[in-house]
């Protein structure tokens, strides 16, 4: 599943934007090792860092990729992880996941 998510992000952004974004996300998450769910941390960090790509132009689409590939429950777990880790910047994940439901 993760390979499909990252490949779709790469198709959306192009290799010149996606590869550095994914590499920076990986480096940031590696520094947080042992501080919760690594998958949730990676997804949240990727979404957070995507705001730096073309002024956040692709963040909603990347969030949608996560929702389509990993499902609503995964998005909910991401929000819960961020809340309990004290990092609530991505609370918008839950509201956007609930839109249209």
The mean pLDDT value for 25-48 works out to 78
Confidence (pLDDT) at 100 = 44
Report the percentage of the chain scoring pLDDT > 70: 63
Structural domain for 67, as ranges: 2-98
Into how many domains does the chain fold?
1
Nearest Cα to Cα of residue 45 among 14, 33, 73, 8: 33
pLDDT band per the 50, 70, 90 thresholds, residue 77: low
Query: Is it the case that residue 6 has pLDDT exceeding 90?
Result: yes
> Above 70 in pLDDT, residue 21?
yes
Q: What predicted TM-score, i.e. pTM, was given to this entire model?
A: 0.67
At 67, phi and psi to the nearest 5? -65, -45
The residue-averaged pLDDT of 61-77 equals 77
Q: Given a cut of 70, is residue 24 above it in pLDDT?
A: yes
Spatial separation of the C-alpha atoms in residues 54 and 15, rounded to whole Å:
14
pLDDT at 98 over 50: no
């Amino acid at each position: 599943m993760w390979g499909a998510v990252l490949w779709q992000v790469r198709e959306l952004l192009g290799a010149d934007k996606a590869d550095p974004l994914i590499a920076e996300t990986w480096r940031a998450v590696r520094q947080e090792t042992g501080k919760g769910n690594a998958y949730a941390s990676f997804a949240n960090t990727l979404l957070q860092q995507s705001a730096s790509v073309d002024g956040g132009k692709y963040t909603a689409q990347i969030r949608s990729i996560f929702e389509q590939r990993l499902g609503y429950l995964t998005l909910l777990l991401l929000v819960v992880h961020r809340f309990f880790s004290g990092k609530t910047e991505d609370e918008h994940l839950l509201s956007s996941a609930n839109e249209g439901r």
